[in-house]
A and B are shown apart, each in its own frame.
Chain A
Amino acid sequence: MEAIETLAQQEYKEGWVTDIEMETAPPGLNEDIIRFISAKKNEPGFLLEWRLKAYRHWLKMKEPNWQYMAYPPVDYQDIVYYAAPKNTPQYNSLDEVDPELLETYDKLGIPLEEQKVLAGVAVDAVFDSVSVHTTFKDKLAELGIIFCSFSEAAQDHPDLVEKYLGTVVPYRDNYFASLNSAVFSDGSFCYIPPGVRCPMELSTYFRINTAGTGQFERTLIIADEGSYVSYLEGCTAPMRDENQLHAAVVELVALKDAQIKYSTVQNWYPGNEEGKGGVYNFVTKRGVCKGDNAKISWTQVETGSAITWKYPSVILQGDHSIGEFYSVALTRNKQVADTGTKMIHVGKDTRSTVVSKGISAGNGQNVYRGRIQVMKRADGAKNYTQSDTMLIADRCGAHTNPYIDVGNNSASVEHEASTARISEDQLFYCKTRGISTEDAISMIINGFCKEVFQELPMEFAVEAKKLLGISLEGSVG
């Protein structure tokens, strides 16, 4: 099994540091810092008030400790809560963008312009805290679609922001969500008007870059009645020697007959072999199917971060609404992933599907934690959950914590779980067909994750392939 170990120890290939002058707030957290952030962004009054309410609430909260992993205490007064490229850019073309920044994107393999045009993807790239480039806004605007940075939305569409912000993840929700509500730097905003099918995949690339800068992204997506949107989120981070906290919040609102498909490939710096220096990825992601027949689908491929701690969830409020969660989490070295979902069935005949694939290598730990909650009124609610884990070493671990809470007798809830290993027989079989151990492992893992990968948009499936070092199935057979 030596080759497996080698594969599991492959170095993080995206590590480097970009040197761009930052305009930075002093480290620390107090009401003045929050006012500074809000002023810097010319925010409307209601937003500053909301931030302050969140901050005051956060002060009364305790950091949660029920999770699987332990991490050294975070000194919240030692974090820089605002950093932005010095000349807040509003560019008309790529030529105006800092070449060093473009180089960074090239290293990441993010084709910002023509490639995206061909692929039919508009990109709202978040570099550190401020959006530097937005493409295709005009084209989307023709359809009435709003796709911009959160800061822009706060200024240009304050009514929408005020109406929906915090309606899915309230500022009191949890410790990290409250912190995010108080200090969020930027993020993406998206609104799809009634009956509009967004003609392209919307994507945002996040990236942590400034030493000691926490990242507090805030994303809000609203799909109005009968609309459809597919949103892609992907991220990588440069190699770094100190831990970085990442506490994002994503809120999705799907109104009657609307659909939101949200796909993530997460590749933050995972730390070195000892787990030192990796990102703490503590994220709150939640969607609400507000109207009847609404559908929200989360698909995630989590390979990065020292610690991943998140549960993309769906509140199935509208009758006949659907929630889905498809997840691949790969942990190696000393990485920990404590992830899963909550499906909360409120409306009648609501359905949810959960497919979780955890892969542990090295000393990696993988936890599936899920809650299926069927409320009293949710007649005919149905859930199917499948949580599978694969172990690729002797020192790694997999844990499954499903919680089921059914308050309605007509509900049907199913849970299947399995644990597998890559067997010597499988490897030998592949070798007798001429396939090397490394390729065989990729192939077997790819097969294991197939149900999740086929939910990803093609472009992301390719990314997932790169990240797991696996070949994709599909062109034949």
Chain B
Amino acid sequence: MALLEIKGLRGGIRDQDIINGIDLTINRGEVHAIMGPNGSGKSTLGKILAGHEEYAETGGTVRFNGKDLFELTPEERANEGMFLAFQYPVEIPGVSNAYFLRAALNERLKYRGEPEISAGAFRRLLNKKMEQVDMDPELARRPVNEDFSGGEKKRNEIFHMAVLEPTLSILDETDSGLDIDAMRIVAHGINQQRTADNAMIVITHYQRLLDYVVPDYVHVMYQGRIVKSGMKDLALELEEKGYEWIREEVEAAG
């Protein structure tokens, strides 16, 4: 059974469709990159999948873990194993990162009918994950994203992902705003999380992240559709030719 199965998905914001019919199947163990020019609907796809209140599907079906995704609340989707790494991570003043993550992890355990994690076990888990994704322990103690630099916020998203161990991670432009060193660290963190049991959707505008997080498949979005799919070479081709080439192809076909 596919982990995520999207069929004919349409949707957007305020009665205006931004996604105009997407089909995409993602299996465990796969990393799919979604590329495309600005405004092509990449981030909207992530928000619809994660259940942002202002976005809505207007057609098609999505099955996640065999369940109808749109029957699940955003938090149920998360507890089923979906994770959205934000392009612009949000600050929660006064709430420590560690406390926040423990609350999130306990929600997940509760959802699965498992007992809550003890303080000691959680501390050990945090230490392990901080090491894995090269996270400054100081940032775990500080309030969620408050006064974090842009790079620290992105690293924190990957840290959250590492602690929550999702089965499907949607990384929304995690590389944006990062210098090359920060991107390497983030990419290393992402790669640490890749297993045969989970899958990732890597949304990015640029190819450069994909040098480090090598995808199994690359899809190109344009005007709310996937207009081209291929293997990792496609990303390189896009890098070389730019998106203009895609536009021309789509318009020629249309």
Q: Does chain A have a CB within 8 A of B200?
A: no
Please tell me if the beta carbons of B102 and A424 are within 8 angstroms of each other in the complex: no
Least CB separation from B55: chain A residue:
A428
Q: Are A449 and B94 in contact (CB-based, < 8 A)?
A: yes
Tell me, in angstroms, the Cα distance from A172 to B102 when the chains sit together.
54
Q: Are A433's CB and B104's CB within 8 A?
A: yes
User: B126 → chain A, closest Cβ, in Å?
Assistant: 8
Is there an interface contact between B122 and A434, defined as CB atoms closer than 8 Å? no
Which residues of A from 424 to 477 have beta carbons under 8 Å from B? Answer: 424-426, 428-437, 439, 443-444, 446-451, 471, 473-477
In the complex with contacts A433-B100, A434-B108, A424-B92 CB distance below 8 A: no
* B50 A447 Cβ-Cβ under 8 A: no
Q: How far is the CB of B184 from chain A (nearest CB, A)?
A: 26
B95 lies within 8 A of chain A by Cβ: yes
Residues of A within 8 Å of B50, CB to CB, are 428, 432
Q: Pick the contact of B143: A426, A447, A474 (CB < 8 A).
A: A447
Query: Within 8 Å CB of A476, what residues of B?
Result: 96, 98-99, 102, 119, 122-123
Which residue of B53, B79, B160 contacts A424 across the interface (Cβ within 8 Å)? Answer: B53
Q: Does B152 contact A (CB under 8 A)?
A: no
**Chain A contacts for B94, CB-based, 8 A:** 446-451, 473
Closest residue of A by beta carbon distance from B84: A432
Contacts of A439 in B (CB 8 A): 103, 107
- Taking CB atoms, residues of chain B closer than 8 Å to A431 are 51, 73-75, 78
Interface residue? B148 (CB, 8 A): no
**Contacting pair B104 A435 (CB below 8 A):** yes
Flag whether B222 is at the interface (Cβ < 8 A): no
Which chain A residues lie closer than 8 Å to B97 at the CB level?
477
Instruction: Please give me the residue from chain A that is nearest to B99 by CB atom.
Output: A473
Cα distance, A432 to B53, chains bound together (Å): 11
**Contact residues, B24-72 vs A (CB, 8 A):** 50-54
- Which residues in B have their C-beta under 8 angstroms from that of A447? 92-95, 143
Question: Which chain A residue shows the least CB distance to B163?
Answer: A433
Alpha-carbon gap, A425 to B74, bound state (A): 13
Bound-state CA distance A418–B75 (Å) is 30
Rounded to whole angstroms, the CA-CA distance of A476 and B75 in the bound complex is 23
**What separation, in Å, do the CA atoms of A439 and B93 have in the docked complex?**
15
Residues of A within 8 A of B79 (CB): 434
Question: Main secondary structure on chain B at its contact with chain A?
Answer: helix
Distance in angstroms from B234 CB to nearest chain A CB is: 29
- Distance in Å from the Cβ of A285 to the closest Cβ of chain B? 26
B54 touches A443 (CB 8 A): no
Where chain A touches its partner, the secondary structure class is: helix
When C-beta atoms are compared, the residue in chain A nearest to B93 turns out to be: A447
Verify A446–B95 contact, CB threshold 8 A. Answer: yes
Q: How far is the CB of B22 from chain A (nearest CB, A)?
A: 20
Mask: chain A, 405-437; 1 = CB below 8 Å from B; 0 = not: 000000000000000000111101111111111
Interface size class of chain B, counting residues whose CB lies under 8 Å from the partner chain: 35 or more
What's the minimum C-beta distance from A79 to chain B, rounded to whole angstroms?
42
Contact A436 B75 (CB under 8 A): yes
Cα distance, A74 to B75, chains bound together (Å):
49
CA A21 to CA B156, docked complex, whole Å = 62
Of all chain A residues, the one with the shortest Cβ separation from B141 is A477
B252 near A: Cβ within 8 Å? no
Max chain A CB contacts within 10 Å: which of B75, B86, B164? B75
- A420–chain B nearest beta-carbon distance, Å: 8
A473–B100 Cα distance when bound, in Å, is 9
CA–CA, A426 to B84, complex, Å? Answer: 13
Q: CA separation between A268 and B79, bound complex, in Å?
A: 38
Q: Which residues of B contact A428 (CB under 8 A)?
A: 50, 52-53, 74, 90
B92 A426 Cβ-Cβ under 8 A: yes
B104 touches A434 (CB 8 A): yes
* Residues of A contacting B103 in the complex (Cβ-Cβ under 8 angstroms): 435, 439, 443, 471
| A433 vs B77: C-alpha distance when bound (angstroms) | 9
Of A430, A439, A443, A475, most buried by chain B (CB within 10 Å of CB) is A430
Least CB distance, A355 to chain B, in whole angstroms:
12
Task: Please state if B96 and A432 are interface contacts (CB–CB under 8 Å).
Answer: no
B186 located at the interface, meaning its Cβ lies under 8 Å from any Cβ of chain A in the complex = no
Residue numbers in A under 8 Å from B52 (CB-CB): 428
* Complex CA distance for A428 and B86, rounded to whole angstroms: 10
Q: Is the CB of B74 within 8 A of A432?
A: yes
Question: Which residue of chain A has the shortest Cβ distance to B79 in the bound complex?
Answer: A434
Q: Specify which chain A residues have a CB less than 8 angstroms from the CB of B75 in the assembled complex.
A: 431, 434-437
Q: How many Å from the CB of B78 to the closest CB on chain A?
A: 4
Q: Which residues from chain A contact B54 at a C-beta distance below 8 Å?
A: 424
Q: What's the minimum C-beta distance from A464 to chain B, rounded to whole angstroms?
A: 14
Alpha-carbon distance between A471 and B103 when the two chains are bound, in angstroms? 9
Q: Which residues of B contact A471 (CB under 8 A)?
A: 103
In Å, the complex CA distance between A439 and B78 comes to 15
Interface residue B111 (Cβ < 8 Å from any Cβ of A): yes
Residue of B nearest to A426 (CB): B90
Task: Please report the C-alpha to C-alpha distance between residue A439 and residue B95 in the assembled complex, in whole angstroms.
Answer: 13
Q: Which B residues are CB-close (under 8 A) to A449?
A: 94
B99–A434 contact, CB under 8 A?
no
Pairs A–B under 8 Å by Cβ, sample size 10: A426-B92, A432-B84, A433-B78, A434-B75, A435-B104, A443-B92, A443-B103, A444-B95, A447-B95, A447-B143
Residues of A within 8 A of B (CB): 423-426, 428-437, 439, 443-444, 446-451, 471, 473-477
3 closest residue pairs by CB, A with B: A447-B94, A477-B98, A447-B95
- 6 extra A-B contacts, CB within 8 A, seeds A426-B90, A447-B92: A425-B90, A428-B90, A432-B83, A434-B111, A473-B99, A477-B98
